[in-house]
Amino acid sequence: MQYKQVIEEMEIEIKKIEKIFEDYRPLLEKVSNQEPTFIELSSLAMLWHSFYNGLENIFSRIAKRIDKACAEFECGKHFLAQDSRGRQHAAIFIVLSLHLF
């Protein structure tokens, strides 16, 4: 079933996000107690970028393969708002509800 494959791919993406935060934990703990240096700030920017990309990959899969909001290679960032028929996409709800099956 298509949903099963999408769920498996999203779970892989979530594990990647969790791994990123695990890897960056010492830095996050350090900067929570003191102001980061320029290099630490650059590293935190990379963390934020990786986290955002992971979420974007998840939402993109939902928009393309579950909601069918756009063609496989035509989906830009607009999928987080509306599709061409004006439907609002509740991607977060879909992610949570699919894990209940």
pLDDT tens sequence across 20-75:
999 999 999 999 999 999 999 999 999 999 998 888 888 778 777 776 666 555 55
Q: How many domains does the chain have?
A: 1
DSSP string, 12-37: HHHHHHHHHHHHHHHHHHHHTTS---
What is the pLDDT confidence band of residue 78, given thresholds at 50, 70 and 90? very low
Containing structural domain, residue 33? 2-98
Q: CA nearest 46: which of 27, 66, 59? A: 27
Q: Which residues contact 80 (CB under 8 A, 6 or more apart)?
A: 59, 63, 89, 91
pTM metric for this prediction: 0.65
Q: Tokens in use for 100?
A: 């209940």
Residue 81 has pLDDT above 60, yes or no: no
